[in-house]
A and B are shown apart, each in its own frame.
Chain A
Amino acid sequence: MYFPLGWPKRLKTPSGDSVLISHIVSSCDRMLFAVISKKTLSIWYSKPCVQIVTFTPCQKLFSEIGHFCKGEWKPDSSLVAITTQQNVVVFIKVEVDTSVKNHHCLYVMQEGKTPITPKININGILDSDSVPAIKLTYMAHVSLQSHISCFLSVRDELVVATIDGCLNRLRWTGNKNEKATLHLNDIPVSADLQQFRATRLSSGNSHVCEMEYSPTLGGYSMVLSSGRAVFVIPPSSRGEKTNAHGVWAQEVNDAATVAVNHRYRLIAFGCFSGDGIVYHLDEAVGALEISHRLVISSKEFPDAGLIAGQVTCMKWTPDGTALALAWKNGGLSLWSVFGSLLLCTLGGDYSSSTDSGSLYPAPIVSMEWGLEGYHLWMVSKSVAQTKNGSDPGDNKHREEGDSESINAETNYCTQLLQFQFVKSALTVNPCMSNHEHVFLQGEDKLYMSTGDTMSRSNLHHNHSQQQKPNSGSSSINMGAGYIGNKQWQVIPISHSYLASNWPIRYASVDRAGQCVAVAGKTGFAHYALFSRKWKLFGNETQERDMVVSGGITWWKDFVCLACFNIQGQRDEIRCYPRTAKLDNTFAKVLQVQSQVLLLNTFRDMLITFCADSHVAMFSLERKNVQSNPSVQITKVQEISLTSFIPHPLCVAGLTLTSLMSESVNPKLHPSSKEAESMLVSVSGKLLMFQRDRSGPQIKEEKNKHRPVPFCNPSVVATSVENLWTTTRANVGKVQLMEAMWLGCGSHGMKVWLPLFPRDEGKAHNFMSRRIMLPFRVDIYPLAVLFEDAVILGAACDVVSYTFSSSSYKNMDMPFCTLERTSQIYLHHILRQLLRRNLGVNALDLARSCKELTYFPHVLELLLHEVLEAEATSKEPIPDPLLPRVVAFIQEFPEFLQTIVHCARKTEVALWPYLFSTVGNPKDLFEMCLLNKDLETAATYLIILQNLEKPIVSRQLATILLDSALDRGTWELCRDLVRFLKAIAFPSSPPLSPTGSDYSYSNVSNVGRLRTSSIVEPRDVKLSMPGTAKEKVRHTVSDSIVGGSKKAATKSKPGEPTAEQVYIDMILCRHARKLLASSQIRTLGYFAANMDDFHFVSWLKRERVRAGKLDDFVSAIQTVHSQFEWPMPALSASFLHQLKKSAASSSSLSSSAVEDDLLGPAGDKGDGELIQPLTPVNICKTEEVRGRTIPHRLSEQALSQMGSDEILLRPQLMRTDEISLATIETSDSNSLLGDYEVVNDSVMGGIGEALSLDLEGMSQEAAVSRGPEQAHLELEYLLHIMLEASCLEWALILAVVLRDSLAVVRVVNTASLTDTPLDMIGRMREGLSYLELWADTECLGYKPFLHKIRGEIHVLSKLVETSTSSAPSLSLDVSSAVQNSLEGDSLSSTLSVDEGNLSPTIQSIRADLDALDIEEQGEEDTVQTTKPSDCVIS
């Protein structure tokens, strides 16, 4: 298709009134342009764009005939006829000026003394940059009896219409052909050719305003002065019809101008209303029927008709694939053959830059397409104020000359402009491979969209790797990414080729998008993208000897083309190998008897359409016998289409395809199918010729290669601009691959989709139907990516360059660029299928495309479009599609997400309709929660917020917040907190969410301020199972709530609001949960991400509650695992010892821990086993083994009677971490005491030395820390814990960090501040257990604990001093500790579980716990002394 590029080029024309240009008309070959002004005729050359000659008749003649008006060329370009104001037709001869030297060329450049380079002239074809010299001679003039309204050059005659209603015929010699003169009133006109009641034209339709003749339609299309339009078939010379007769164009009575498309047999009328109507001739009845209308929709530009005015000029492009249309008040539009709007310069970016009112471009008086449609020559009329740059004296001089006309007309001047265009290669060369790319050809450049080629090569690569499991999905995604890539790849066409062969007629790209070939005036050239080199004919004579006439295409490594051999004066098909030099010696040449008009390939077939209306098929076979590859062309079949086509020119496309109207079940057919049908596009009507397999099969026996004949054609579709089929195969997407796509201009696109039967079991069912589904497209389609379910296209985009200098103000016009567009089409098809009750097929189709990245988007679009259509429909819909669509989407996991995204993008008013079909959004919300899709749930929340009462949305938000906190999705948590705040105070600006995409409908919430009475019951409910301590907390919060109630009612600033308290409560609860379950890393993230959470102050409050820590060992272990912090490692020898002991204890879990401990250093450790195992060591370990087993047994017995204190603790953890760690802990703890004894007795003497050693080794080990991030986090948490005097945790962290100074700080804090005694007690105890644990399980900690021995001592001192100060109370204290312990453990356990368990279960657990603790208490006194002993020793 055609797209403008850049700015229009402005050409130099003489200024002044006498040279106001009235008309421009090109010669038949479009090489010469006649520019007619009042008094002159100028001839311009197309390229280079220069003026050749200007002819001015003498003044005397002008006074006789009047000024020039319009011109027409004789078809052989030897004469120009010009009409004048006074009923005269002037004939001016155009001939080459042979007096001019150097091959009669003008503007030959000579630089210095170097001789002029002679112009090359082979076969009478000049170089593209040489300008032929032309002289004009006045021949004759003919006067007519009446004023001339329009005239037309038809074959060897001129038809001149005069206002008296006559159609006069003039010969080019200047004689009238009086016999052939017709009068309009003599022509009978009817609605169609079959009607007898034809009427003569009344006097109102007095004369012809505009007319055009089309040989393919065989008649004149005329616009009458009454505004009616008529198609007149002239009297046939063959005699069957002796009289001319006409057919009315129905429904048009304000026609202003006409343009006829020969190739597509269309008649376009431009109307006074500013619209265009395009008719086609119904051959059966001979009536004109409307094909489509050219209307600027109000979306494009409102009131186009009023502002732009009537249609003044319309011109079809030379290839008939686009129509340029201009209006009276300015503006230009471009339409594809069947009515897609390609360009409209009304509104948008085109007019905004200039001062208001004037349209861009200025009103076009006359226009004409240049060669191959690369240029549009326009004569535009603009107000003459811009000429300040040119000499004003000149103007004055002219003013004197013809002063009377100045007043009337000199307020405008004319400009000659040249708009540049690029066009799709499909317009003239619709071969298979061009259909697979967005490939555009410009005057000197080729544009190719890069994305699709890349994705192709990727996909191709993919196929080769299909077996490999990993590569598949990722590269498909990559491909999808490239589809969105809008970068053009611009290939400049070889300058040396262009210099002699401008313009490029045909361009072709190969399937892979790697090689391109172009053919210009003569010869051709090709280019490979990978080498970035053009290949031209080495022998220029060979290049000049051939003219590519019927297209050029790629077949494998060969360029196949149809050409005319000038030397041999014959038509040929040639194949040139790409790899060899470009020379005829490597080419395979096959002569054909008639000119080839179209060329295409299908697999190894070459198909041609010739000027004699015959289709010929050739098989291509690659031969590699010589050093250079060659191809063998064998003619397979020839079919005459004469009876099916009106004119060979009308065939716009020719394709072979494997498709059949009844698609065969893919399972039964191999992937490489034969050419089953031939598709021929005749003037937009798509004919399908299927192979006739019904005939007797004897033929095949006789001759294997005998081709199967074709059936008579069936019409598949009309108004077809382009069609896409593919020869690729993809087993997964048969439905898409077997489809055929049609571009139908304003009728959108159509897909001819196969419908495969569901149950393949039935034998008779193997044939299936096809269905034609139309759908809208917003882009102009140029390529269909079958597998990706995407259409690619191009569009014109506009860039505004601003000019700083004021003198360029009038140039402030837009610069046109090319844009690559793409569109997903899958949802259209799915919708159509669902509408037709073909849900099964829709499902099959959708499932095959599930892996596409934009598949969720497709579902969303599907739902959205149906919803919009049905919810906004004014009449009730008898059979709504929405339920079906919803049911369809439900089949996919993206269901919930699709619904909510769609809802978000539609108006609130449509929601009830949507949810009445989909179901209660609350249920959907809960489904999201169940599916753990919190993000989607959050989106539902916004919907619910608009539909439900605030209380409900608060409730749901709270639930969501809880799960979000549990999942640690902090972003979402933050948003939810903001949300919770905002729904209570929608009007307060600081609380309104900023930066989030949440939209709140404020209206629904105004005045529904939540009262705190709602909070309280909920609050109570939450904390109901709490113990005494919990109650205390509750009362505290309650008082805050109470306070806030007042605050809310009195609206006192500064007080915490009820909302704030409510949120704080949720946050605190979660924080407590985290802390109590020792998840301090998560707590760190939580605190950092929740802006409303005051970490330190909360910790201060919690340090004696949730912050209390009883089991140091498991705490250390969980910290290690949370932060991925390696346990301190020891040297190999020690570990070896440890292993032995662990093995002896036969505890699988602990040995596993050691393996972990070995970690990264483990491998190296094996090599560095320095310390040999001494007999002592061995015996020692044996000792250990010997002793541990009985002790384990005794321990078990002990735990039955009443276990020690530590055994209980893991129950706190059990709810969250059912990990090995807890089991280990209990195991090891129970071992501890005895092992210590063993250690003492056996190791005894070496103990001291060992500890020294250990210290040294731990120095090394200290280097192997965990990740840096974890380190920072630990340090930060340590700092926070210290600040909040949450000393137990601080101690743990200090130990994990092996930061002895921090331990000192912790101990100091403990001693200095009013730290609760029980806390110090717990710390000391904890440390003791740690030591025990280190001795048995984690020897790596031993050196560090050894190091902080002093601090442990200090701690025990602290405990002792406080106990000794009140010795009598010691037991009480411990019992108090027990009590508080009990309470704490309960509360923390409960806080973990609250909300999850029913109160009864909780109470049961509480009872159990209490029991345990009592038992513990008994044991306590026994245990306490032991650890302290160990410490001292």
Chain B
Amino acid sequence: MLEVIATLPRGPVFLAGETLCCNVTFTNSSADNQSAEEVLAWSSVQIICQCTVSESRVQLPRTTALSTEEASTTGCETSFVPNKGERGLTVLCTKPKILFCDLKLAPGATRTYQYEEVIPTDAPPSFRGQAVKYSYKVIVGTQRLEKTTKMVRVPFRVLVLFGLNDISVYNETEEIAPSNPFLNNSRKENSVLDVGLQEVISLYFIFIFNTDSYNIANGRGKVARFLLFKQAYKLGEDIVGMFDFDVGTVPCVQYSVTLQSEEKISEECRRKPGQGTAITSYVKHQEMCLNTLRTHMNIPIPLTATPGFMTDIVCQRWRLHFEFVTSLDKVDGPESVPADCEEHQWQGANTLNVETMVWDLPIKVFPTNPIHASSVTLMKTSALINMANG
């Protein structure tokens, strides 16, 4: 029995540009000490990104990489075809790295290899849309002598920070590189993680002090005033907005805010020309506000969502979708009853003649620290196969 375990010690979420590190452990798990040592011919690791599309909506230009069918027919049983058995199109495939050739493992022996690979910054993010999906996997291929190739797949998630293309730009900012090569070693390289987060923060500062106030009105008058304190958010953050109905002249009965993402297929890939965008709703906040002067909403952005991005095929944007249910008639409050001497009773209206008005407000959603995102992504960080004697 031979066991291959691949684990991602850092967790399953990475920022594009980061170095993915994967520990691959090979164990000869046969308990019998008499059994012969296992010989593994080779093992090789690769990262692939598969893109699956909904055929009814997306038409792929046939210029990109080999489709799986083609790829799988080219390789025979004993060669390493990382995307074998995967659906869809391989849009990213790193160079295979060989962990070893001819590994001999005595019964009970274990060898661990570390695989490192940089996830390209121009890679698409992991995405599970309605028409397009991008999914990443680390593929470990292993072959025992004269047996078929076996593969271990560890799925992981990639967050892409748009605008973060070349990491070296950020490293050069410090000063001109010192001429003394002996100092080079001591200087700390900015990790992608730091830079990425700095970038997020700097983007943040562009938006953070920019409290936007929106006066929401319909044909009959002012409905409310809406304050949004930021336009850009990180995954996992709360979108906080405040509604002020005190300023309204049109009675607003109810409002709802929904966090939505729009998935738009690029024009050349659309199956039908008039094809619209696919909307996915995440979190909805709804409140009856007839007797409310001021209230707020607090919508968390799911850590598992994909931040806004754009590839050749698809583009994802984020927005807040507002619905305001306003009354067509004036809604009287208790003070409307004349203050005369008689005993009287005011009662809320039985029916309200309402209309619903909608409004979409685009917002920006950025990735967060991948370690934070790891903590909720319940992806397994390891995969295991047993290669039985057969």
Question: Do residues A482 and B335 form an inter-chain contact, with CB atoms below 8 A?
Answer: no
A166 to B285: give the CA distance in the assembly, Å. 51
A817 to B237: give the CA distance in the assembly, Å. 11
**A98-154 CB contacts (< 8 Å) to partner B:** 100-102, 106-112, 116, 129, 131, 133-136, 138
Question: Do residues B300 and A135 form an inter-chain contact, with CB atoms below 8 A?
Answer: no
Chain B residues with Cβ below 8 Å from A109 are 253-254, 325, 351-352, 354
Asked if A14 meets B284 with Cβ closer than 8 Å, knowing A107-B352, A485-B371, A1088-B182, the reply is no
A453 to B341: give the CA distance in the assembly, Å. 64
A802 to B343: give the CA distance in the assembly, Å. 46
**B298-344 CB contacts (< 8 Å) to partner A:** 298, 300, 302-304, 325, 333-335, 337, 339-344
Question: Do residues B335 and A49 form an inter-chain contact, with CB atoms below 8 A?
Answer: no
Question: Do residues A9 and B182 form an inter-chain contact, with CB atoms below 8 A?
Answer: no
**A468-526 CB contacts (< 8 Å) to partner B:** 468-471, 474-475, 478, 481-482, 485, 487-490, 492, 495, 514
Question: Do residues B348 and A468 form an inter-chain contact, with CB atoms below 8 A?
Answer: no
Question: Do residues B345 and A54 form an inter-chain contact, with CB atoms below 8 A?
Answer: yes
Question: Do residues B25 and A18 form an inter-chain contact, with CB atoms below 8 A?
Answer: no
Instruction: Quote the shortest CB–CB distance from B169 to chain A (angstroms).
Output: 21
With both beta carbons as reference points, the residue of chain B lying nearest to A970 in the complex is identified as B186
Does chain A have a CB within 8 A of B350?
A: yes
Question: Do residues A14 and B335 form an inter-chain contact, with CB atoms below 8 A?
Answer: yes
A458 to B227: give the CA distance in the assembly, Å. 42
Chain B residues with Cβ below 8 Å from A468 are 25, 27, 110
Chain B residues with Cβ below 8 Å from A804 are 211, 213
Asked if A48 meets B375 with Cβ closer than 8 Å, knowing A110-B353, A487-B303, the reply is no
With both beta carbons as reference points, the residue of chain B lying nearest to A105 in the complex is identified as B350
Does chain A have a CB within 8 A of B183?
A: yes
Does chain B have a CB within 8 A of A1228?
A: no
Chain A residues with Cβ below 8 Å from B23 are 470
Instruction: Quote the shortest CB–CB distance from B325 to chain A (angstroms).
Output: 6
Question: Do residues B343 and A470 form an inter-chain contact, with CB atoms below 8 A?
Answer: no
**A965-998 CB contacts (< 8 Å) to partner B:** 970-971
Asked if A58 meets B295 with Cβ closer than 8 Å, knowing A109-B354, A1269-B184, the reply is no
Question: Do residues B292 and A51 form an inter-chain contact, with CB atoms below 8 A?
Answer: no
Number of interface residues of A (CB under 8 A): 100
Does chain A have a CB within 8 A of B9?
A: yes
With both beta carbons as reference points, the residue of chain B lying nearest to A1081 in the complex is identified as B182
Question: Do residues B291 and A108 form an inter-chain contact, with CB atoms below 8 A?
Answer: no
Chain A residues with Cβ below 8 Å from B302 are 490, 532
Question: Do residues B293 and A53 form an inter-chain contact, with CB atoms below 8 A?
Answer: no
A59 to B23: give the CA distance in the assembly, Å. 84
With both beta carbons as reference points, the residue of chain A lying nearest to B9 in the complex is identified as A474
With both beta carbons as reference points, the residue of chain B lying nearest to A8 in the complex is identified as B294
Asked if A530 meets B378 with Cβ closer than 8 Å, knowing A14-B335, A108-B351, A389-B247, the reply is yes
Question: Do residues B349 and A53 form an inter-chain contact, with CB atoms below 8 A?
Answer: no
Does chain A have a CB within 8 A of B180?
A: yes
Chain A residues with Cβ below 8 Å from B227 are 803, 808
Does chain A have a CB within 8 A of B358?
A: no
Question: Do residues B354 and A9 form an inter-chain contact, with CB atoms below 8 A?
Answer: no
Chain A residues with Cβ below 8 Å from B293 are 10-12
Chain B residues with Cβ below 8 Å from A488 are 236, 300
Question: Do residues B183 and A56 form an inter-chain contact, with CB atoms below 8 A?
Answer: no
Does chain B have a CB within 8 A of A450?
A: yes
Asked if A106 meets B254 with Cβ closer than 8 Å, knowing A111-B355, A532-B304, the reply is no
Chain B residues with Cβ below 8 Å from A57 are 343
Question: Do residues B378 and A529 form an inter-chain contact, with CB atoms below 8 A?
Answer: yes
With both beta carbons as reference points, the residue of chain A lying nearest to B184 in the complex is identified as A1269
Instruction: Quote the shortest CB–CB distance from B90 to chain A (angstroms).
Output: 26
Interface readout for A732-765 with B: 1 if CB under 8 Å, 0 if not?
0000000000000000000000000000000000
Does chain A have a CB within 8 A of B69?
A: no
Chain B residues with Cβ below 8 Å from A478 are 9-11
Question: Do residues A1273 and B344 form an inter-chain contact, with CB atoms below 8 A?
Answer: no
Does chain A have a CB within 8 A of B240?
A: yes
Question: Do residues A454 and B343 form an inter-chain contact, with CB atoms below 8 A?
Answer: no
Question: Do residues A52 and B355 form an inter-chain contact, with CB atoms below 8 A?
Answer: no
Chain A residues with Cβ below 8 Å from B347 are 52-54, 97, 106, 133-135
Instruction: Quote the shortest CB–CB distance from A443 to chain B (angstroms).
Output: 10
A482 to B110: give the CA distance in the assembly, Å. 28
Does chain B have a CB within 8 A of A644?
A: no
Instruction: Quote the shortest CB–CB distance from A1204 to chain B (angstroms).
Output: 36
Does chain B have a CB within 8 A of A1089?
A: yes
Does chain A have a CB within 8 A of B181?
A: yes
Most buried by B among A54, A60, A134: A54
Does chain A have a CB within 8 A of B296?
A: yes
A59 to B343: give the CA distance in the assembly, Å. 7
Interface readout for A26-51 with B: 1 if CB under 8 Å, 0 if not?
00000000000000101010001111
Instruction: Quote the shortest CB–CB distance from A1127 to chain B (angstroms).
Output: 22
Chain A residues with Cβ below 8 Å from B355 are 111-112
Chain A residues with Cβ below 8 Å from B345 are 53-56, 135-136
A19 to B346: give the CA distance in the assembly, Å. 14
Does chain B have a CB within 8 A of A7?
A: yes
Does chain A have a CB within 8 A of B103?
A: no
Question: Which listed residue, A52, A492, A1085, touches B348 by the CB 8 Å rule?
Answer: A52
Chain B residues with Cβ below 8 Å from A1411 are none
A412 to B25: give the CA distance in the assembly, Å. 73
Does chain A have a CB within 8 A of B172?
A: no
Chain B residues with Cβ below 8 Å from A971 are 186
Does chain A have a CB within 8 A of B218?
A: no
Instruction: Quote the shortest CB–CB distance from A832 to chain B (angstroms).
Output: 33
A56 to B337: give the CA distance in the assembly, Å. 10
Question: Which listed residue, B27, B185, B186, B351, touches A110 by the CB 8 Å rule?
Answer: B351
Does chain B have a CB within 8 A of A551?
A: no
Asked if A107 meets B253 with Cβ closer than 8 Å, knowing A135-B345, A487-B303, the reply is yes
Question: Do residues A110 and B354 form an inter-chain contact, with CB atoms below 8 A?
Answer: yes
Does chain A have a CB within 8 A of B65?
A: no
Instruction: Quote the shortest CB–CB distance from A96 to chain B (angstroms).
Output: 12
Question: Do residues B294 and A10 form an inter-chain contact, with CB atoms below 8 A?
Answer: yes
A514 to B376: give the CA distance in the assembly, Å. 10
A10 to B246: give the CA distance in the assembly, Å. 10
Question: Do residues A1276 and B348 form an inter-chain contact, with CB atoms below 8 A?
Answer: no
Asked if A107 meets B349 with Cβ closer than 8 Å, knowing A495-B284, A1088-B183, the reply is yes
**A442-470 CB contacts (< 8 Å) to partner B:** 444-445, 450-451, 453-454, 457, 461, 468-470
**B58-110 CB contacts (< 8 Å) to partner A:** 110
Asked if A492 meets B284 with Cβ closer than 8 Å, knowing A481-B371, A1089-B186, the reply is yes
Question: Do residues A40 and B334 form an inter-chain contact, with CB atoms below 8 A?
Answer: yes
Instruction: Quote the shortest CB–CB distance from B204 to chain A (angstroms).
Output: 14
Does chain A have a CB within 8 A of B41?
A: no
Question: Do residues A48 and B298 form an inter-chain contact, with CB atoms below 8 A?
Answer: no
Does chain A have a CB within 8 A of B356?
A: yes
Does chain A have a CB within 8 A of B42?
A: no
Does chain A have a CB within 8 A of B242?
A: yes
Question: Do residues B372 and A50 form an inter-chain contact, with CB atoms below 8 A?
Answer: no
Chain B residues with Cβ below 8 Å from A111 are 325, 353-356
Chain A residues with Cβ below 8 Å from B298 are 5-6
Chain B residues with Cβ below 8 Å from A475 are 9
Does chain B have a CB within 8 A of A881?
A: no
Does chain B have a CB within 8 A of A854?
A: no
Does chain A have a CB within 8 A of B162?
A: no
Interface readout for B164-208 with A: 1 if CB under 8 Å, 0 if not?
000000000000000111111110000000000000000000000
Does chain A have a CB within 8 A of B148?
A: no
Does chain A have a CB within 8 A of B382?
A: yes
**B1-30 CB contacts (< 8 Å) to partner A:** 7, 9-11, 23, 25, 27
* New A-B contacts (9) at CB < 8 Å, excluding given A50-B288, A450-B375: A10-B293, A16-B335, A48-B290, A59-B340, A471-B25, A487-B236, A811-B294, A1087-B182, A1276-B182
Q: Which 8 A-B pairs have the closest CB atoms?
A: A48-B288, A1088-B182, A54-B334, A1272-B181, A490-B300, A450-B375, A14-B335, A58-B343
Cross-chain pairs A/B with CB under 8 angstroms, 9 sampled: A11-B293, A49-B288, A49-B292, A50-B288, A58-B341, A110-B353, A468-B27, A487-B236, A1084-B182
